[in-house]
Amino acid sequence: MSESLAERLAAPVPRYTSYPSAPHFSTQVGAGVYGDWLGALKPGSSLSLYLHIPFCDRLCWFCACHTKQTQRYDPVEAYLVGLFREIALVSARLPAGVTVTEIHLGGGSPTMLTPDDMLALKERLDEAFTLAPDCRISVEMDPNDLDAARHDALAAIGLTRASLGIQDFDPTVQAAINRHQTFEQTREAIAASRARGVGSVNCDVLYGLPHQTLASLQQTVEHIVSLRPDRIALFGYAHVPWMKKHQTMIPDATLPSVTERFRQMQHAAAMLADAGYQAIGIDHFALPEDSLAAAHREGRLKRNFQGYTDDAADALIGLGASSIGQLPQGYVQNMPATGEYLRQVAGGGLPVVRGYALSADDRMRAHVIERLMCDFSVDLADLATRFAAGEAMADEMRRSAAADGDRLSVVDGDSFRLTAAGQPFARTVAARFDAYLSNGKGRHSIAV
């Protein structure tokens, strides 16, 4: 039954790391609006920083991130000059009394940075912002970049979570996605981080990759579980060659079918549950003592552009080319093209080129979609009191459940919830309450 549903419900929908999703951002929200939003943050607010390093020394063909390949370091050095300028521009617009509680370095490959540049970047952040004593710092790491000096630098900047992309350890799959990384390299990178006091490790795994099979994925999951990371993200490969041209290097014929993707996802999820990991939303797993698992149990789980998080900051500030920020008023995105980003910050301007100002209806639907994606349920009584149009929204959800012939969702008293059959299709159910999806903006990856 589930596999037949997967075939039928695989239509592309957003991943809902925001609502509205990024294709609906517009140039009506630009640098001026962003500056005003920064200045309007309340003293005492907490901030989360995301810093994008858009460079890799090799291009993985599966990747859908904003990144570029370089074998030279001088473009990275030039980029850091611009990033330091943006840090200064943003901090100058913030009111006094705001504190940074989370820092995330993503990419690209942040571990391409030299040890000296890692330390210099942290020094700039210390100068520009007030960092909480217990500020959590996470970095996306490529084991191919790492050496003892980089591990030492990461420890010196206060790294608290190491995040490693693995995808699949099978050599055939790795060749098909141009991502060569052995189990031994991965094990050594994790051990080196832990030896330096890094308290949390996350690993990313993909299903739905070219030439991937249940057997290859099973072996990969077995290897990862043996390393006992605190968190594991099990993502479905998003094949979007119309958006990322390098994905044309992956022939469609080498990809598993929708049914096979669904089997891979279900099998890997069952393996992780058997290994003692708690399922978090649609694609995350955590050991019971991990803070993400605690947030899930306590109803504090959130979803943002990095996926599921227990980050409780009042605002997310995106720094670097293509970075997306989330403030109380709405979303902003920086110029994606690195060269133009550098020109804008060199001229003293904030590099935001588009965004979205949230309406009352947007906030209400964003709440509904986030709770469905995080908790698989929405408290309709709370919805009715939380928002002016909450009762009308609750009625819309009741009608949706009543018309749900597949029984993906039901209403029990004041709770709209996904059934066990509906939970793998949370994105599809959430899309029912997306007021923008029908306008045709943007193309998305399949929902399975």
Any idea what DSSP says for residue 26? Answer: B
316 vs 334: CA distance, rounded Å: 13
Residue by residue, pLDDT tens for the chain (448 residues) are 577 888 888 788 999 999 999 999 999 999 999 999 999 999 999 999 999 999 998 888 888 788 888 989 999 999 999 999 999 999 999 999 999 999 999 999 999 999 999 999 999 999 999 999 999 999 999 999 999 999 999 999 999 999 999 999 999 999 999 999 999 999 999 999 999 999 999 999 999 999 999 999 999 999 999 999 999 999 999 888 888 888 889 999 999 999 999 999 999 999 999 999 999 999 999 999 999 999 999 999 999 998 999 999 999 999 999 999 999 999 999 999 999 999 999 999 999 999 999 999 999 999 999 999 999 999 999 999 999 999 999 999 999 999 999 999 999 999 999 999 999 999 999 999 999 998 766 566 676 7
142 vs 138: CA distance, rounded Å: 13
Q: How far is CA 271 from CA 225, 260, 290, 425, in A?
A: 9, 16, 18, 20
209 vs 255: CA distance, rounded Å: 6
Per-position DSSP letters for 322-358, written without gaps between them:
T-EEEETTEEEEE-SSHHHHHHHHHTT---EEEEEEP
Q: Which residues contact 440 (CB under 8 A, 6 or more apart)?
A: none
Q: Which residues contact 228 (CB under 8 A, 6 or more apart)?
A: 287
Q: Identify the bridge partners of residue 107 per DSSP, sorted by sequence position.
A: 53
- Residue bearing tokens 């999820």: 269
In the chain, what are the domains? 22-357 (3.80.30.20), 360-439 (1.10.10.920)
Q: Identify the bridge partners of residue 282 per DSSP, sorted by sequence position.
A: none
